[in-house]
Amino acid sequence: MSAITYVLVAGLVLGIQNRFTPEQLGMHATSVLVWNIIEISILCLIFYIFNIQSKLRIFDLIAYCGYKYVGMIAALSSYLMTHSLLIYRCTLLYISISLSYFLVKCLRLQILPDVGGSQSYNTNGNTRRIYLLLLIVLLQPAFIWYLTQHLIVV
């Protein structure tokens, strides 16, 4: 839902800048879909290669990776309202920090076995689990910046 809203907001931004063409909506939708598939595939591959057992399933990963679109919508909306690059960057920074904090709090319960209180998982490989958690958390702000930076006119 938020990914579709992001595509529509991106079309609105391009329309206000007089750079809109109908093909751009399709390109943005395809870009969102492809980057989501790449991101989820990489994470699933890392789970498999490092033999990380967790409570996370594919739909959980899709949901957690989809939270970035809400931040992208907020950042683009702040740019639309003010046309200020500084406001956009401040909003982007705030959204990135808050999304990272949220993901660390939520995903550590799912990925790190000793934090959640469940001892059914093997406690070996906690370093790999922490690195995976950091990878997920740091990928989201990078994707937010990458998917919105071409919409902002300097």
In the chain, where are the structural domains located? 2-151
Instruction: Report which of 9, 7, 2, 3 is spatially closest to residue 25, judged by C-alpha positions.
Output: 7
Tell me if residue 120 falls in helix, strand or coil. Answer: coil
| Cα distance between residue 78 and residue 52, in whole Å | 39
Q: Which residues 6+ apart lie within 8 Å of 25 measured at CB?
A: 7, 8, 10, 11
Residue with more model confidence, 4 or 114: 4
Beta carbons of 38 and 48 less than 8 angstroms apart: no
Residue 122 has pLDDT above 60, yes or no: no
Average pLDDT rounded to a whole number, residues 49-56: 85
pTM of the model: 0.84
The predicted pLDDT at position 90 comes to 97
